[in-house]
Structures are given as structure tokens and as C-alpha cells.
Chains A and B, each alone.
Chain A
Amino acid sequence: MNPEPAIIPAARPHRLTALLRGLVADPRSAIGLGLVLLAAIAALGAPLLAPNDPDAPDFVNILVAPGPSHLFGTDDLGRDVLSRIIYGARASLFVGFLSVAAAAVAGTLLGLVAGYFGRLADAVIMRVMDVVFAFPSILLALAITAVLGPSLTNAVLAIAVVNLPVFARLARAQTLVVSRLEFVEAKRALGFGPVDILLRTVLPNILAPVIVQGSLLFASAIITESYLSFLGLGVQPPTPTWGNMLRNAIGFLELAPWLSWFSGAAIFLTVLGCNLLGDGLRDRFDPRD
């Protein structure tokens, strides 16, 4: 038996181009895309873009105000703030992306299983998700990192766990709809196994809302990462993150206010970009809005 591909195939290149063209045509999404790309370029090209070593102290030039020698000034150890902001994009985006991706993969699989098999699997999975959802997200992320210890991996894990129920609920609801459609019934009648049906037929058909949700949660994951770092429970110094830079800046609000301007603005603009882009994507996928 030749396993047929899904009825609605995943995004083909020409659809992706059309999507991008549509996004760029809408000024709101275009600005969002620009801001997100800027952060992504900073993260990927940090070694090439950063004017200085982000970790190299320079005790002769501590707390230098923004100027020609240091565009964003220097911090209390004389480190170049611009270089640290550029390198900081790495941790923020990396944790944000990885945690949402992990939550999306695990949550979608759980939602597929719950929605397709129903009964006990559904009851157990969704009750567990209800319990995770019963905690305010920041509090749960804090508690997890507090118990496991502050590190990049644990921050990813904590933010992924917090976002898991969102994807599980979404995927379950979509699976319930799709798995009753005729083409799924047809595959079942042809004798395909549940793994085949779920991964090859149902999954591609529920992917669009999962991706839109992911893009919206990416922004909140970046904020949560910055909260954890800000509280000292995320990625640890000297590795720069925007959150831990702002934590450090609190001590110098009067002496060196620029320290908190730039790190805060970096988080704000990146999240604003994600939200603008997320709104644009949602409007494109959901024309009712």
C-alpha cells in the first residue's frame, strides 16, 4: 500500500513567497518583520557586528556615557553596552525560540493523541494540562527554575512547560475537527495505522494555527526569559542577556541611566516586532478578523 501524502500539503515555496509578499505589503507587519529580522541578524552575526568583546572589562572606561567611542556607553566593568546588547540577542532569541518550539512539538503531539484517541488518553492528558494551566505562568516558570537551578537549559524547560497546555488544547481542538473529516475516515477505512494517519494526514492540516500561535507565544517567551534573567534565575552572567543587563542596570539608575534604556529598549522593540508580525500573520490566516 502506498501511503498517500496529506490532502492539503504543507506550505510550498510559492505559498511562502506569497505570504511574505503579503506581509511586506502591510506596513504594520513589515515593521514587525524588520524588527524581528534586526534582532535575528544581531543574534546570528554577533561576532561580526559587535564592535568590542562583550565580556572584556576595561577598568579605565567604566560607566562612560554614550558617545563616539562607545555608541551605547559602557557598564560598571567598562564593557561595551552595544556589544553586549548585540550578543544579548542570542540568549533572548535562542531561549524564546527553543522553548516555544519544544512546547509546540510536545504540546501538538499530546493534543493529537488526546483529540484522536479520546477517552482515557484525552482525559488524562487534558487534566494534566489543566493543572499546568492552573498556575500563573510566570510563577510556574520561576518555581521550576528556582528548583532546578538557574541556567539556560532550565529557562528553556520552564518556559516550554508553561506554554505546553496552550499548544495541547489548540492541537486537540483542531484534531477533533480534522479527524472527523472524510479524507481521514477514508485513510482509516483503507487500513492505515493511527501513527500514519496522525502524522501524515491530521498533523499537516492542523499546522497553520499552531504556527500562528507559536509566533504569538514567541513574544511572550522572550518577555518571560527576560523576567527570569532579570530576577537572576535565567542565563547567568557574564553571558549577556537583555534581562540580566537590566538587572545590573538597576544599581546605576542615577549614575548611568543609559544602561537601562538600551537593554529595556532591546526587549521592547523585539517583542513589539513579534506582536506586530503575529497580528499580521493572524489576519492573513484568519480573514474573518
Chain B
Amino acid sequence: MTRYISTRLASLVPILFGISLVTFFLIRLVPGDPVIALLGLEADENAIATLRRQLSLDQPLVLQYLTWLGRILTGDFGRSIQGGREVLPLLLGALGPTAILSGAAIVISLAISIPAGIVSATRRNSLADYVCSFVALCGLSMPSFWLGVLLIMAFSITLPWFPSSGYASPLLDPLGHLRHLVLPAVTLGAALAAATMRMTRATMLEVLRADYIRTARAKGLSRRAVVWGHALGNARIPIVTLLGVQLGQLLGGVVITETVFSWPGIGKLTVDAIFARDYPVVQGAVLLTATLFVLINLLTDLIYTLLDPRLRLT
């Protein structure tokens, strides 16, 4: 197991190196002079020269990359062009709200998808199965921003129950925080629930066909014990895997949801920085998100190995 973990960790190195290369060259893809693109045509000579030095644009490309990478590795993500704040604290400050939103979305999604998936699988081709499967397909087909807009129209405008946008600190105003959290978390959780429900259903169907389930039934175990005790035990492996993949995808999904609901997380920070042409923040946010994404995927693989004893031996 230790060997497996170290091999997997080692495989991260080229990926993270690649991510850093892509992120570094992204800003170099801006058409024209990046410094002019950053500062605008009216910028004065001094500011241009300073930024050019700051971005190491006066050096050969390889050296530029190495200098940049050295800074990143020591936690220096540069400064925001808007307001001059350091990028790293900005990013870390936005991570909290994103983590809260993602966590809430996962709780909502699991609470809906696992029971729905099990019901669908154990009562295959029943009305309940058709309804659950159809709702899940609708959830998959629903663009999250439209669901967000519909929820705002229903529960902020028609029924003024929840605020349509903004954020309240969980420490200073816990109730206000929860009220702000509901709509974005449901929006984000819905797509997740749809995919997880389909996976739960498919996996349970597969597992329920297995010989040991027939044995369990034959020896007179109750339906509940068979489904929850025997079947779900094995079905959880692919479900956990999918959940990990989805958790990674949430990092993309928050971009849209946070923008619709003005939730001050990493997604909204990225979009705002894109529109402000604040490239150091864009670069930092993309780098951080991609790194987190890769780490979550690795963690998923490790949990998968832990859950499935067969994989531990290899």
C-alpha cells in the first residue's frame, strides 16, 4: 500500500509540472504585448518597465518560467493588478466559501441520490424507477445557471424566502449564512445528484445480479439486510469513485454557480479577474484550482484502493 501511494505521488510530479507550464504560457498567449494588455495603452513608461521586470519578460523564456516557478513554490503568486493586493491571500480567502458551498452541495446530492438510486435499482421498471431516472436525466441536462435562475425566481422573488445573492459570515451571522447558502448549494448539488443517482442505480443493478446476493436471499435474509448490508457494501466502491470525480468537477461547477449567486468563492474570483484582465489572479486561481483538482482525483484513487481489498494486494 505504501508503495502504491508513493508511486501515485510520484506520478503527480509530471502532471503538476505540466499544469505549471500551461498556466505559465496562458498569459503569454494574450495577443500583443502582455504588459500593454495588462496595463492598457495609456500606461506610463515606468509602470510598463516595472511590470515587465516583475513578470521577467525581459529574460529568455526558459529563464522566465524558472523564475516564475521558483516564486510560486515559495508562495509568491505576485500581486493583483486591481488594488495591488497579494494574490495568495486573495485565493486562500476565497477557498473557504467555495469549500462550504461544495460541502453543502455534496451533502444535498448524497441525501437525494443514494436513496433514489437504490429505490430505482431494487424496483427496476416500476413507476418509481421511471420517475427517478427521468428526473436524474433532466438534472443532467439542466444548465446549472438556468436552475439557479429558476430557483431565484421561485424562492427569492415569488416567495421571498431566501436571498438571491451575497454572503454572510458563518461566524458572525450563522443563520444568515445558511439562508444565503441554500439556493447555490441546491443548484450545485442537483447536477451532482443526477450523475450520482444514475451511477448508484447502474452499480446496484450490477451487484444485485451477483451470486452472493442470491445466496443471501436464499438463506432467508430480509430485503433490507440484502440491499443495505450486502449490496451497498460493494456498490459503494464505484459510487465513491464517481463522487471523487464529481467533487473535482465541482471545482469547475462553482465558477457558474458562484457567479449567478455572487458567492465570494474561488469561481467568482476567477471570473471577476478575467473581466478585470487581472492576469496574475487568473493565473493563480487556475493553478490553484487545477492542483486541487489533481489532488482530489489522487485522493479518490487512494480511497478506492482502501475500499476494495482486492486492489491492496497489487
Binding site for B on A (CB under 8 A): 127-128, 130-132, 134-139, 142-144, 146-149, 219, 223, 226-227, 230-233, 246, 249-250, 253-254, 257, 260, 264, 267-268, 271-272, 274-276, 279
A274 to B143: give the CA distance in the assembly, Å: 13
Residue of A nearest to B202 (CB): A289
- Min CB distance, B57 to chain A, in Å? 16
Q: Which residue of A lies closest to B292 (CB)?
A: A136
Given A136-B289, A136-B290, A260-B153, check contact A246 B146 (CB 8 Å).
Answer: yes
B90-104 contact mask (Cβ, 8 Å, vs A): 1 or 0: 000000000000000
Given A139-B270, A147-B29, A271 contacting B141 (CB threshold 8 A): yes
From B140, B146, B252, B290, A260 is in contact (CB under 8 Å) with B146
Other-chain contact of B137, A136, A227, A276 (Cβ < 8 Å): A276
Known: A253-B152, A264-B150. A142 touches B255 (CB 8 A): yes
Please state if A130 and B18 are interface contacts (CB–CB under 8 Å): yes
Given contacts A219-B141, A231-B256, 5 further A-B contacts (CB under 8 A): A131-B19, A144-B26, A233-B274, A268-B142, A272-B138
Whether B137 and A135, one on each chain, are in contact in the complex, defined by CB atoms closer than 8 angstroms, is: no
- In the assembled complex, the CB of B211 is this many whole angstroms from the nearest CB of chain A, namely 18
In the complex, the chain A residue whose C-beta lies closest to that of B34 is A147
Chain A proximity of B11: nearest CB distance (Å): 9
Q: A141's closest neighbor in chain B, by CB?
A: B252
Contact B18 A131 (CB under 8 A): yes
- Asked if A264 meets B149 with Cβ closer than 8 Å, knowing A127-B18, A134-B19, A134-B293, the reply is yes
Q: How far is the CA of A275 from the CA of B134 in the complex (A)?
A: 11
Instruction: Take A127-B14, A135-B290, A268-B142 as given contacts and tell me if A147 and B27 are in contact as well, using a CB distance cutoff of 8 Å.
Output: yes
Question: B294: CB under 8 A from chain A?
Answer: yes
- In the complex, are the beta carbons of B149 and A253 less than 8 A apart? yes
Q: B290 and A134: CB pair below 8 A?
A: yes
Smallest Cβ distance from A179 to chain B, in angstroms? 26
Is B248's beta carbon under 8 Å from chain A?
yes
Query: Which of B15, B157, B286 has a CB less than 8 Å from the CB of A143?
Result: B286
CB-CB contacts of B255-273 with A at 8 A, as 1s and 0s?
1100110000000001100
B203 to chain A, nearest CB (A): 13
Partner of A257, one of B30, B153, B275: B153
Counting CB contacts under 8 A, is B145 at the interface?
Answer: yes
With A138-B253, A227-B145, A268-B143 as contacts: A149 and B31 at CB distance below 8 Å: yes
Give Cα distance in the complex from A66 to B114, angstroms. 40
Partner of A138, one of B22, B252, B290: B252
A135 / chain B contacts, CB cutoff of 8 Å: 19, 22, 286, 289-290, 293
5 A-B pairs whose Cβ atoms sit less than 8 Å apart in the complex: A131-B15, A139-B255, A219-B141, A260-B153, A272-B137
Contact of B146 among A138, A267, A275 (CB under 8 A): A267
Assess whether A136 is in contact with B275, with CB atoms less than 8 Å apart: no
Q: Which residues of A contact B275 (CB under 8 A)?
A: 232
Q: 6 smallest A-B Cβ distances: which pairs? A: A131-B18, A136-B252, A264-B146, A138-B252, A272-B141, A271-B141
Given A127-B14, A275-B140, check contact A139 B289 (CB 8 Å): yes
B31 and A148 contact, CB distance less than 8 A: yes
Known: A131-B19, A148-B31. A136 touches B141 (CB 8 A): no
Q: Does B215 contact A (CB under 8 A)?
A: no
**B295 smallest CB distance to A (angstroms):** 10
Residues of B within 8 A of A233 (CB): 274
* Interchain CB contact under 8 A, A260 and B149: yes
Give Cα A246–Cα B142 distance, bound, in whole angstroms.
Answer: 13
Q: Is B282 close to A, CB under 8 A?
A: yes
Contact B149 A136 (CB under 8 A): no
* Complex CA–CA separation, A219 to B249 (angstroms): 16
**Is B259 touching A231 in the complex (CB atoms < 8 A)?**
yes
Residues of A within 8 A of B18 (CB): 127-128, 130-131, 134
Quick check: A148 and B274 within 8 Å, CB to CB? no
A130 close to B15 (CB less than 8 A): yes
The answer to whether A275 touches B141, judged by C-beta atoms less than 8 angstroms apart, is yes
Cross-chain contact B256 with A230 (CB below 8 angstroms): yes
A253 lies within 8 A of B143 (CB): no
Interface residues of B in 29-80 (CB under 8 A from A): 29-31
Cα–Cα distance between A138 and B191 once the two chains are bound (Å): 14
CB-CB under 8 A from A267, the residues of chain B are 143, 146
B259 & A275 in contact (Cβ 8 Å cutoff): no
- The listed residue (B15, B143, B150) touching A223 by CB distance below 8 A is B143
B251 within 8 Å of A (CB atoms): yes
Bound together, the chains give a CA A127 to CA B11 distance in angstroms of 10
Query: Which chain B residue lies CB-closest to A257?
Result: B153
Interface string of B148-186 (1 = CB under 8 A from A): 011011000100000000000000000000000000000
A275–B195 Cα gap in the complex (Å)?
A: 12
Q: Which residues of A contact B293 (CB under 8 A)?
A: 134-136
Nearest neighbor of A132 in chain B, beta-carbon distance: B22
Give every chain B residue within 8 A of A147 (Cβ-Cβ): 26-27, 29-30
Whether the Cβ atoms of A226 and B271 lie closer than 8 Å is no
Contacts A130-B15, A233-B274; A139 near B290 (Cβ below 8 A)? yes
- What chain A residues lie within 8 Å of B140 (beta carbons)? 275
Q: Which single residue of chain A is at the shortest CB-CB distance from B137?
A: A275
Q: List chain B residues, Cβ under 8 A from A271.
A: 141-143
